[in-house]
Chains A and B, each alone.
With several copies, the nearest count.
Chain A
Amino acid sequence: MAELHGLQLDDRIAAELPDWEAIVAHLRTRRPVAEVLRQAAAGGRPLVQPRCGVGGHREMVELLRALEPAGPGVLSVTIDSHTRLRHFDTAAELLARNPADLNGYPLVAHGWQRGRELAAAVDVPLEVRHGSPDGRELFAVALAAGLTSYEGGGIGYNLPYSKNVPLGHSLRAWQQVDAVCGVLAAEGVLIDRELFGTLTAVLVPPSVSLAVTVLEAVAAAREGVRCLSIAYPQGGEIHQDVAALRAVRTLAARYLDPGIEVHPVLHEFMGVFPRTRSYADLLILHGGLLARLGGATKVISKTHQEAYGIPDAEANADGIRTAALGACELLDFVRIDEDRVSEEQHWIEREVAELVDPVLNEPALLPAIEAAFAAGRLDIPFSASVHAHSRVVPRRDACGAIRYAGVGALPFSAAVLRRHADLLAPAPGARERSPFEAATADIRYFLDNEDRFHSSTPHRTRSEPPQRF
């Protein structure tokens, strides 16, 4: 293990990096993502950022250049799965053999010099998006490449992204990353740290998402992080989603030092996506509109190829434009039932408090988080990891909003439990569904909406199942 300013790194990777002063000097020459976010926040319209990453370097440069004219505010370097899991050798091997087989850009295998080439290829600044339970090496390479925004956190990049990395390990790995950002911030170099509240992306109740990001944000702030992007995944019911996005700001005001910049980020719908271009485009546009109504600084766009596979550049550029259109002037007239939003926001904030306050009241934050997940007092649905109980059972109510049908050991008050039970009370005479049927229907929500749309007139064609191989 080598060390880069407190960051413990694999020796081989550390050996390739420039020294700390050179890294900082180069970072100072870059336009920080934090500045772009601040501008967007001031302008009142969310900036749009796509996910994008392909294996080959030349292909990645071309991809970024192809997307820039669509007007993203930030571009992504989305990392492949092998690199995320620290299988750097597999990534390097596949890169040598068949780069098109990689589902992202293996930045560690390419090395920081190529990272700088990516950053130089476009005017728009870049963020590294990945899903590494332990993202230290990747972070070091990204820093050396001059990238000023880095996604991830010890909970959100562990539980959805790996099977058996102990939370204690990931939380401490990310603590080191945050501490480096703290050092840099103190030197005047601002790194935007985005927290992945999206989690397993499918039917995540807003308070689960927000509880996780609040805890990660508090942890990051304690290490000196000064710019935080807090991401929430669109669930599909707009009043709930607007409320959740707005709650990001109120929760930040409650739990964080006011000197920290906080940017709510919307991840456009991350579940099973519509299959027809027209309905997919509507959902993408709808996400842009939601982002504006919810006061997000940034929206991560989807594409009409989402159901099929990693999108090509054209579809991705279209997605950026479509999301931006949802947030554009022509729809500024749109009002929403504010009473309903306030009601949702009130309960979301209350639920988050019930989840995080006991943890924050413990003397040591990271062990308290670990213990809470071990006891199921914190939990996420559909966990990939064995380190969350996954006893939370999310269910859509009649309006499509995501409620708790089961809370496992989450320490919710009776009032909260009663509200969810009431909201999920079956319509009188409704047929009982098995848990499997109910989960399937809730997951396929937009697919069913899409089918209903396409078959609402007698002759309209329905969507076809995606061709996947």
Chain B
Amino acid sequence: MNTPAGPADRLVILGVAESDAHAVANQLITMQLQSHGFTVLNLGVCTPLSDFADAHDRHPHAEAVLIGSLNGHAHQDLRTLPELRAAGRLRCPVIVGGNLSVGSRKAGTDRQRLLDLGVDHLLADAGGLVLLLDMLHAARAAELQHG
């Protein structure tokens, strides 16, 4: 049986989308994940998607790439995800959270077009983040075991 990696080995890549300078949630999430034993590679604000891909190339064992977007520009800032994926990059779960479109009334289509880009998970709140990472981790462990 394949023991899942202990928390100490759990690395995530975190950052804020390219046009977005909102730093507070980013820093809080870092504290939160670290307190749960994660190693956080925090790329900070205003990070182009290609920088996330570069970081993932350097750290292929990262469990997930976590991208915050609050300024409403999530879709534009993640537009190159299909290209990068087609080129075989960012092949880990991409989790996007924050405030994902412009305006105070959100349409279901805002959500859908991000999923269409290939974003794997959307979270409004960071509260559920550790749970999601644990589930993904368990699922991968199970896959490795049975697959």
A85 and B101 contact, CB distance less than 8 A: no
Say whether A309 contacts B106, CB under 8 Å: yes
Interface string of B93-105 (1 = CB under 8 A from A): 0000011111111
Q: Mark A418-445, 1 if CB is under 8 A from B, else 0.
A: 0000000000000000111001100100
Secondary structure call for the A interface: loop
Asked if B117 is an interface residue, CB under 8 A from chain A, the answer is no
For chain B residues 1-57, which have a beta carbon within 8 Å of chain A?
19-24, 27-28, 31-32, 35, 44-47
The stretch from A155-163, A223-231, A370-378 touching chain B is: A155-163
For the complex, is A384 an interface residue (Cβ under 8 Å from B)?
yes
Total interface residues in chain B, CB < 8 Å: 35
In the assembled complex, how far is the CB of residue A363 from the closest CB belonging to chain B, in whole angstroms? 33
Residue of B24, B100, B105 with highest tally of chain A CB at under 10 A? B24
Residue of A nearest to B74 (CB): A469
Docked CA distance A59–B45 (Å): 29
Q: Which residues of A contact B47 (CB under 8 A)?
A: 163
State the Cβ distance, A316 to closest chain B Cβ, in Å: 10
In the complex, which residues of chain B have a beta carbon less than 8 angstroms from the beta carbon of A161? Answer: 21
CA distance A118 to B108 in the complex (A): 32
Q: Does B72 contact A (CB under 8 A)?
A: yes
Say whether B125 faces chain A, with CB atoms less than 8 Å apart: yes
A237 interface contact, C-beta 8 A = no
Chain B: minimal CB distance from A425 (Å):
23
Q: Which residues of B contact A469 (CB under 8 A)?
A: 99-101, 106, 110-111, 114, 122, 124
Interface centre among A81, A312, A390, by most B CB within 10 Å?
Answer: A81
Question: Which residues of the other chain, B, contact A162 by a CB distance below 8 angstroms?
Answer: 21, 45-46
The reply to whether B73 and A101 contact each other, CB–CB distance below 8 Å, is yes
Whether A309 and B103, one on each chain, are in contact in the complex, defined by CB atoms closer than 8 angstroms, is: yes
Contacting residues of chain A (280-322) with chain B, CB-CB under 8 angstroms = 305, 308-312, 315
**Contact between A163 and B44, CB atoms less than 8 A apart:** yes
The answer for the CA separation of A316 and B109 in the assembled complex, in Å, is 25
| Contact for B76 among A90, A305, A312, A315, CB less than 8 A | A90
Residue of B nearest to A306 (CB): B104
Residue A12 at the chain B interface, CB threshold 8 Å: no
User: CA separation between A239 and B84, bound complex, in Å?
Assistant: 52
Q: Closest 6 A-B residue pairs measured CB to CB?
A: A305-B104, A308-B104, A309-B104, A384-B23, A81-B19, A469-B100
User: With A94-B76, A312-B104, A468-B99 given, can you name 16 additional A-B contacts, CB distance below 8 Å?
Assistant: A160-B21, A161-B21, A162-B46, A163-B46, A164-B46, A200-B23, A202-B24, A309-B103, A309-B104, A383-B23, A390-B27, A436-B35, A443-B24, A443-B28, A468-B124, A469-B124
